[in-house]
């Protein structure tokens, strides 16, 4: 199971709920699957696939080391997958994590994978995807409360629109058997019903312990020192509605700015809007802002592609180890 969505949409909450199931283990965010796949030329040797080099690279990924699996256990599982495909080697790392926690199934919660669902669906034909969607104005408030991610309402609106739109498009292509769309607002209003829905979708037995997501939450969040309290303190509480509420916590100019960029998607999703009509001049200005952000992003993608063509290890790998 892959839990995806725009960041700050409640994916950590859902991950902790699912990880509390005695059959399912979901580690901290991985971030390495698409980068390693795009760098697969690095693992092609004389027409063969160098799974040993891929395994060594996996052992050097900081996110994998943060999972806390003893290296001997990880090496044993990676070794057992020798001779397998790219997906087999990657699965072995997750299998090691699941086994380390006494579980038989694994999942992944890396929100940005919402942009890579087609790739993941091809690599893992049995995988299913849960797309968690939250009102983008509340997502924006959450982003602006932390020290990373979008630093302005404009950037947050562009990211939310991009991520949610991509996830819904990919989900339509996958079909209902492999894609489930879940609203954060529904999950926190009735967690039992929606967790039962997710479990049925994933052929997973519901367990009452999933409703105790905040038990041992610090040990399971897997954040840098001090990061759990700074970035994820809301999951320490029982499920609580209204932790963010753009209606009372967001300045009117920021609501207008967000809705100028992403108002149509809010409407499509059934969220209320404060400004259902946006003037042409504002929309044109927003288009210029978004165009500039897209050009910066394109430059970053081009640089990464250049490095891949030269056979360099992805940035997600710790070169100093």
As given in the structure block, the two tokens for residue 121 are 């669906």
CATH of the domain at 29: 3.40.50.300
8 A C-beta contact, residue 107 and residue 25: yes
In a domain, 40, yes or no: yes
Residue 195 makes CB contacts below 8 A (sequence gap 6+) with 17, 18, 187, 206, 210, 211
Expressed as residue numbers, the domain containing 265 is 2-212+230-309
In a domain, 263, yes or no: yes
As given in the structure block, the two tokens for residue 77 are 């599982």
Residue 122 makes CB contacts below 8 A (sequence gap 6+) with none
Cα distance between residue 275 and residue 24, in whole Å? 43
* Residues above pLDDT 70, as percent of the chain: 83
Q: What is the dihedral of CA 145, 146, 152, 153, to 10 degrees?
A: -50
| Upper half-sphere CA count for residue 21 (Cβ side, 13 Å) | 25
In the prediction, which pLDDT does 296 show?
A: 66
Tally of domains within the chain = 1
In the prediction, which pLDDT does 239 show?
A: 85
Q: Which pTM does this prediction carry?
A: 0.88
Query: What is the distance between the terminal CA atoms of the chain, rounded to a whole angstrom?
Result: 30
In a domain, 289, yes or no: yes
In a domain, 224, yes or no: no
In a domain, 315, yes or no: no
In the prediction, which pLDDT does 242 show?
A: 80
In a domain, 265, yes or no: yes
Residue 68 pLDDT grade (very low, low, confident, very high; cuts 50, 70, 90): very high
SS3 165: helix
SS3 129: strand
Statement: residue 156 has pLDDT above 50: yes
Cα distance between residue 82 and residue 126, in whole Å? 21
Statement: residue 231 has pLDDT above 80: no
8 A C-beta contact, residue 209 and residue 220: no
């Amino acid at each position: 199971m892959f839990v995806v969505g725009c960041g700050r949409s409640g994916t950590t909450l859902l991950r902790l709920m699912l990880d509390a199931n005695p059959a399912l283990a979901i580690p901290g965010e991985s971030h390495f699957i698409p980068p390693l796949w795009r760098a697969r030329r690095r693992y092609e040797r004389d027409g063969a696939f160098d799974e040993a080099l891929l395994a060594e690279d996996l052992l050097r990924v900081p996110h994998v080391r943060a999972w806390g699996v003893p290296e001997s256990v990880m090496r044993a599982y990676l070794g057992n997958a020798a001779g397998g495909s790219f997906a087999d080697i990657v699965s072995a790392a997750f299998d090691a994590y699941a086994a380390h926690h006494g579980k038989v199934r694994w999942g992944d919660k890396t929100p940005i994978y919402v942009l890579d669902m087609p790739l993941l669906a091809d690599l893992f034909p049995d995988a299913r995807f849960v797309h968690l969607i939250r009102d983008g104005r509340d997502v924006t408030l959450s982003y602006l409360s932390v020290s990373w991610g979008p630093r302005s309402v404009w950037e947050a609106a562009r990211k939310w629109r991009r991520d949610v739109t991509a996830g819904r498009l990919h989900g339509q292509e996958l079909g209902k058997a492999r894609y489930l769309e879940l609203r954060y607002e529904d999950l926190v209003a009735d967690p039992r019903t929606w967790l039962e829905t997710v479990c049925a979708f994933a052929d997973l037995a519901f367990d009452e312990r999933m409703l105790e997501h905040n038990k041992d939450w610090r040990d399971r969040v897997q954040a840098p020192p001090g990061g759990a309290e700074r970035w994820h303190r809301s999951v320490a509480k029982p499920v609580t509605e209204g932790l963010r509420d753009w209606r009372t916590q967001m300045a009117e100019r920021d609501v207008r700015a967000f809705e100028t960029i992403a108002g149509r998607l809010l409407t499509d999703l059934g969220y209320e809007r404060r400004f259902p009509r946006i003037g042409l001049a504002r929309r044109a200005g927003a288009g210029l802002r978004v165009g500039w952000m897209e050009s910066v992003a394109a430059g970053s993608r081009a640089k990464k592609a250049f490095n891949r063509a030269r056979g360099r290890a992805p940035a997600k790998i710790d070169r100093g180890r």
